[in-house]
Each structure stands twice: as structure tokens, then as C-alpha cells.
Amino acid sequence: MSLLIRGARVLTMGKAGRPRRGAAMRDLGVMPGCDVLVDRGKVAAVGRSLSMPPGVRVIDAGGRVLMPGFVDCHTHACWAGDRIEEWGRRLRGENYLDILRAGGGIMSTVRAVRGSEEGVLASGLLRRLNAMLVHGTTTAEVKSGYGLSSADELKMLRAIAGAGRVWAGTLAATALLGHAIDPDEPDFVERTIGETLPAVSGAFPGVAVDAYCERGAWSVADTVRLLGAAKVAGHPVRVHADQFSSLGMVGEAVRLGAVSADHLEASERGDLESLASSGVFGVLLPCCGLHLDGRYAKGRDLIDLGGLVAIATNYNPGSAPCPGMAMAVALAVRGCGLTPEEAITASTINAAAVLGLTDRGAIAPGQRADLLLLRHRDERELAFEFGGNPCDAVICGGEVVAGAVSAGVP
């Protein structure tokens, strides 16, 4: 079915398929009073006073903002159990890394995932994905990493694939093989590199491989070994770096040609300069700053240095229990120093580029019709308001999948 959105303030995002750096991140390609025609799941035309094909469904935007769907390029949305008790401990003053070293934190979720069947993991993930969709996320990345053993990592990846087959949006999997260090496995790093990585390569060739480099988790040397082996096996690689400590992993990510270095709350000036001079994305995760310790990545500096920047929720049961990208946008502006326009770019076209997707993140003919019709008539309100759902309609693959908007009703 064809769909015509009339009279919208359209954020075209300029030239499709290309991530933005520097000042270009502030150019949203705004076209006020514009129409967008969708046909067969793709954008067919963008312009003023477009002709109406027979049988087309019409939505009167009434000047509201029409923008690309959010791309949440870093989540851990596949999990079992909960971490409410851990949160209570942190509220009483315990340190996140101390809880992790004592076998809590990530390891508590690992134990819950290992005790869960694949179908239970898939259904829980699908429930969370649908909550994300209602709030405007039409493409999401989901990591494994709560299995740690070969069998359980493969179980998680199969659950992610299963949920992706039935979700209305697009799901990209990442094998987070270097997450916590299993204290019950004395040769855990060697087993992960020598056994789990080959098993994942055989079952999921080409899937992105990730690692969490931090004190109490994976060391720089071991992270480099894992990601180097993954690259040799044909996997793109990503890394969690500098969440609590600047250990030198950002420079190693640049040397390895990683897709992204994510977190960056503890990154120093030299880390940011190295990242900015490369083709490696810095993925900011400001929801962690709100939930954990009030620290945020220096996004303003990274953009001013000319770096590639994306933002994501980091949706997970411990450090970022937030399914909504609008909240990540609001926090990126307040905590990381981005302008509203930069945050929109970082959550759409740049985030799509992190996942290697060039067919979304902009509104142009031929692009996938993943679109958000906001309640707002000024896109800056997306960052100004926080805590609510900004979407009057969520359009995914050309179909209205969420929202209360009716044909012809502004």
C-alpha cells in the first residue's frame, strides 16, 4: 500500500548514505511544508504538492516534524533475570566495578541467561524491541555477551536471530565475546579466543565481534588478541572502551580499524584526537551517565575535533535500563554537549553507518521508509523535552506500526 504524508517539516538529512562529521552534523536538510510519498516500503518521492496516486493512504502532518526512524546502534536488550538488588547496593554506595569483581553485575545476568531456554530469551527480547519500536526505534543492534560459554553465546545469537525474524523493525546482531571474565573458568580468555570465537564464526559468519575492555574485565592485551583474531576470521570488530578508565584501548581500536569505540566517558584528550583523526566511530552512551555516576563522554570535543559520532541507549538490565532513543538524545545534549541537531544526526544517519546500513537514516527516494512523525513542529523539542514519547506515528518499512495518528487528522 502507498502512503502520502502531507505538509510535514521533513528532516531529509541531506545526501543519503553518508555519515556526517563536524559542522555537517548540524545540517538536517530541513524542508518545511513538504510531502513524502512512500511506496513498496521505500521513499518514492520528496517534494511540495506531490500528486496523489490512486488508493494512497494520506496522513496530514499539519506541520509536524517527519524524521528518519531512530537507529539504536548499541544495546544489550537480550537478557534474563533482573538487577534491581544490584541497583539498591549502588544506591547504598557500592561501586559498580567492585560489584562486578565480586561476581555480581554482568555475572548475575550471565547466570540467569545460562539458566534460560532460547525461546524465553527470544520472547523477552521481542517484548523489549516492541517497546523500543513504540518510542521510535526502527533499527536496533543487540549484543550477546551474557552467555560467555560457546553454547550459551550461540544460544543468545540464535535468540536474537529468532526475534529479528518476527520483529517489524530491523535487527543487527553483535557477538560480544569479550564481556565479563568468568571467575569459574581459569583459562577463560584462551577458551574464548580458541573455542568460542571459532564456534561463532562457523554458525554466524561475518557477525560483528565486540569486547569490553576495562579494569576487572578484559585487559587491553587480551582485547587486542580477541579482536585481532576476529578480524582474521572475517568479522568487523567493535569495542567498549574508556567507560571508567583510559587504558589505551581507543588507540588500539584505531590501529585495528574497528568500526567503533563505545562509551568514552573516561577518554582523555589524546584518545579523542586519535579517534577523531580516524574512520572509527565514537558511540556515546549517555544513559549510563544518568543511571550510574553522572559521567558523560566529551562529545562536544570529539565533534569539534572532526570525529565520527553516534549515540545509542546501551539498553541493558544493569547500567542503562532505558529503551527510548529520545531519552538518549536529550541526555546527549545535556551531558555530552551536543546540539539538538547533532544529536539527531548521531541517532539516525550516523548510527546507521555504524551498522553498515546505507539504506536508512535519511529521507530520500530509494531509502527504506522508516519514518517518525513527531508530536513536535520544531525538531529541537525532541531534545528539549525528556521522559516522554515524542512519536505520533512510527512508520516501519512503509507500514504504520505504532502511534495513534489517523488518515487526514493533524
Q: Which residues pair with 43 in a beta bridge?
A: 38
- The single residue listed with the C-alpha cell 500528486 is 51
Q: Of how many residues is the chain composed?
A: 410
**What does the pLDDT look like over 11-20, one tens digit per residue?**
999 888 899 9
**What does the pLDDT look like over 332-342, one tens digit per residue?**
999 999 999 99
Alpha carbons within 13 angstroms on the beta-carbon side of residue 401 total 25
- The three three-digit cell numbers of residue 272, written as one number: 579523542
Closest CA to 200 of 143, 116, 241: 143
Answer whether residue 405 shows pLDDT above 80.
no
pLDDT for the residue 404: 66
**What does the pLDDT look like over 121-169, one tens digit per residue?**
999 999 999 999 999 999 999 999 999 999 999 999 999 999 999 999 9
Work out the pLDDT band at 10, boundaries 50, 70, 90. Answer: very high
As a whole number of angstroms, the distance between CA 57 and CA 5 comes to 8
Strand pairing category for 30-39 and 42-47 = antiparallel
User: Using a CB cutoff of 8 Å and minimum separation of 24, what contacts does 127-131 make?
Assistant: 128/77, 128/315, 128/323, 129/77, 129/163, 129/167, 129/169, 129/171, 130/167, 131/323
- The three three-digit cell numbers of residue 304, written as one number: 569539534
pTM exceeding the 0.85 threshold for the entire prediction: yes
Helix (H, G, I), strand (E, B) or coil at 315: coil
- The three three-digit cell numbers of residue 128, written as one number: 523489549
As a whole number of angstroms, the distance between CA 59 and CA 68 comes to 16
* Residues contacting residue 132 through CB under 8 Å, at least 6 positions apart: 72, 77, 140, 169, 315, 323, 324, 325
Average pLDDT over residues 68-91: 93
pLDDT for the residue 408: 40
Closest CA to 233 of 188, 202, 190, 279: 202
Closest CA to 37 of 363, 406, 389: 363
Average pLDDT over residues 370-380: 98
* Residues contacting residue 115 through CB under 8 Å, at least 6 positions apart: 80
The secondary structure of the chain in percent helix, strand, coil, rounded to multiples of 5, reads: 35, 25, 40
Alpha carbons within 13 angstroms on the beta-carbon side of residue 354 total 34
Taking the mean position of all CA atoms in its chain, how far away is CA 280? 15
- The three three-digit cell numbers of residue 247, written as one number: 587504558
Average pLDDT over residues 248-253: 98
Whether residue 36 contacts residue 7, with contact meaning beta carbons closer than 8 Å, is answered with no
Better pLDDT: 282 or 403? 282
Domains 3-68+360-403 and 71-354 belong to one CATH topology: no
**What does the pLDDT look like over 173-229, one tens digit per residue?**
999 999 999 999 989 999 999 999 999 999 999 999 999 999 989 999 999 999 999
Answer whether residue 407 shows pLDDT above 60.
no
Taking the mean position of all CA atoms in its chain, how far away is CA 203? 24
DSSP H helical ranges for 206-296: 220-232, 249-256, 269-276, 286-288
- The single residue listed with the C-alpha cell 577463560 is 188
Answer whether residue 354 shows pLDDT above 90.
yes
Spell out the domain ranges in the chain.
3-68+360-403, 71-354
As a whole number of angstroms, the distance between CA 152 and CA 138 comes to 27
CATH number of 3-68+360-403: 2.30.40.10
As a whole number of angstroms, the distance between CA 152 and CA 45 comes to 46
Closest CA to 56 of 363, 402, 409, 407: 407
pLDDT for the residue 410: 34
Average pLDDT over residues 376-392: 97
Q: What is the mean pLDDT of the chain?
A: 95
Work out the pLDDT band at 406, boundaries 50, 70, 90. Answer: very low
Alpha carbons within 13 angstroms on the beta-carbon side of residue 264 total 36
- The single residue listed with the C-alpha cell 568500526 is 259
43-53 exposure pattern, b = at least 16 Cβ within 10 A, e = fewer: bbebeeebeee
To the question of domain 71-354 being in CATH 3.40.190.10, the answer is no
